[in-house]
Chain A
């Protein structure tokens, strides 16, 4: 793993999905790393665990959770944290992330990433819980900004101020989802560049890129389409201003053949190479590898 501006740098990764298990194991595609959804592997055994271990032997991994519910008013779920800690010991990921949101309350799980109000009460609440979770896991976690569709009356600061404050006070790190910034900027009419300009550069360890569904008056984060041009533009801006940040593409629905995601990831590499000499060298090398592979196939 490289270190860039004091941050670990993994390069360009993809979300590991069941549809691609066989392809990844058989073809060993030229992907720098994979992100797994933690909850999918919190099972005793079976196929998911078999493929997880087999693929882990060949690729670095990071773990991404959806159920920490860091903003919930219920107590932190210790059983969940124990399962997470066991999985961390098993996978040995480069880092572990979840979302800056709430997913459960009153003992009921919504299985959705519900937005928090941007208030002092919520900051204090989340900071305390992040610290508890980090202490339990014995490592800092990354939190990801979520897409949102409603604005709470009680919010007194912007989303990025809220995010920065929690990161500064809790010692956690940032997973910036570039698509979510775009989606929320459209839904709440703010300047997405201002969001990127405002975050603490040293705390940003990972970028997510994904597709969404645009309904004109509002945009929904669906993860079922390729990344659109406006999100690529925002990614270009983020790379230019935040430097080399490990980048991955998330696709959760209408999963295409692996090669399509690989091509999309290579597009991200191309954008990053415009600003980062190190990535440019890797990008050129990746392109020439592909050319030489193609030549050897033809001969």
Chain B
């Protein structure tokens, strides 16, 4: 191994508090204590990563409190070294980390709050795309309706939450105390970036969620109507899908209709 490579490995080990011979590479020069100087790098390294977790997940941090947040930072830095050039992606593994690592895994709401915060970020960073207005439907002839397929804005994200995670996030964001963590049955959310580049989200009923998922999988209008027969009769089901379409146009979520 080249001297340069050895130095890099030793320095990385030192930053992660592993056994390292990095001080053998450093001079005690001009009165400078080499351990003090090395510590400038380790301190900055850990502080930078802590700041990223804190900035990307402000509500999670408040929900955890200082002591648990410190523990999260300490463990996450060790178990999830950054492998991305951009710090934007540093916390991508955080929801999974929280769902697997004790003591956090004992509180599944934490992983859901983290995931919700990440989906808000993904929506914020997604590419732009022209959005259609509801007038686009008027040019579709009746014989084409059964075959239409939809494309959605790249910022659209879907969340399936079992706990009152989004409600807790909203409470903390509004500087209110969240309700105790409750497993409330599945709840469905859609998150997107609006035309003013602001992120929005709203809850969905299960039939709307299911219809949206089916359109995302590439199903056409007639195909997405079929599963709705579980809740609506044959006459009502197509009109229910049209109601969903109206809402999605109002939300500026649709970017293309393929007839």
Interface residues, chain A, with chain B CB atoms under 8 Å away: 39, 42-50, 67, 71-73, 77, 80, 102, 104-112, 114, 116-117, 119, 121-122, 125, 149-154, 187-189, 217-218, 220
Say if the beta carbon of B125 comes within 8 Å of chain A: yes
CB pair A109–B83 under 8 Å, yes or no, is yes
CB pair B4–A149 under 8 Å, yes or no, is no
Say if the beta carbon of B139 comes within 8 Å of chain A: no
CB pair A112–B41 under 8 Å, yes or no, is yes
A112: chain B residues within 8 A (beta carbon): 41, 44-45, 48
Distance in Å: Cβ of B192 to nearest Cβ of chain A:
11
A71: chain B residues within 8 A (beta carbon): 4
Say if the beta carbon of B176 comes within 8 Å of chain A: no
Distance in Å: Cβ of A142 to nearest Cβ of chain B:
19
CB pair A73–B5 under 8 Å, yes or no, is yes
Q: Which of B30-38, B163-171, B238-246 contacts A (4 or more CB under 8 A)?
A: B30-38
Provide the B1-45 mask, 1 if CB < 8 A to any CB of A, else 0.
Answer: 011110111011001000000001111011110101110110011
Say if the beta carbon of B85 comes within 8 Å of chain A: yes
A117: chain B residues within 8 A (beta carbon): 3-4, 7, 25
Bound Cα distance A109, B88 (Å): 13
CB pair B9–A106 under 8 Å, yes or no, is yes
CB pair A150–B34 under 8 Å, yes or no, is yes
Distance in Å: Cβ of B160 to nearest Cβ of chain A:
24
B193: chain A residues within 8 A (beta carbon): 46
Distance in Å: Cβ of B256 to nearest Cβ of chain A:
16
Known: A67-B85, A107-B83. A114 touches B4 (CB 8 A): no
B144: chain A residues within 8 A (beta carbon): none
Distance in Å: Cβ of B240 to nearest Cβ of chain A:
32
A107: chain B residues within 8 A (beta carbon): 81, 83
| Cβ < 8 Å to A, chain B residues 203-253 | none
CB pair B87–A111 under 8 Å, yes or no, is yes
Bound Cα distance A151, B29 (Å): 7
Size class of the B contact interface (CB-based, 8 Å): 35 or more
Say if the beta carbon of B107 comes within 8 Å of chain A: no
| Cβ < 8 Å to A, chain B residues 41-97 | 41, 44-45, 48-49, 81-88
Known: A106-B8, A106-B9. A46 touches B29 (CB 8 A): no
CB pair B4–A125 under 8 Å, yes or no, is yes
Bound Cα distance A217, B33 (Å): 10
B26: chain A residues within 8 A (beta carbon): 150-153
Bound Cα distance A133, B86 (Å): 19
Besides the known contacts A42-B85, A110-B11, 9 further A-B residue pairs in the complex with CB atoms under 8 A apart: A44-B154, A46-B125, A104-B85, A105-B8, A110-B45, A111-B45, A150-B41, A154-B25, A187-B32
Say if the beta carbon of B137 comes within 8 Å of chain A: no
CB pair B86–A39 under 8 Å, yes or no, is yes
B44: chain A residues within 8 A (beta carbon): 112
Q: Which 3 A-B pairs have the closest CB atoms?
A: A44-B127, A105-B8, A67-B85
CB pair B86–A44 under 8 Å, yes or no, is no
Distance in Å: Cβ of B17 to nearest Cβ of chain A:
14
Bound Cα distance A154, B27 (Å): 9
CB pair A149–B37 under 8 Å, yes or no, is yes
B127: chain A residues within 8 A (beta carbon): 44-45
Say if the beta carbon of B124 comes within 8 Å of chain A: yes
CB pair B154–A45 under 8 Å, yes or no, is yes
CB pair B29–A188 under 8 Å, yes or no, is yes
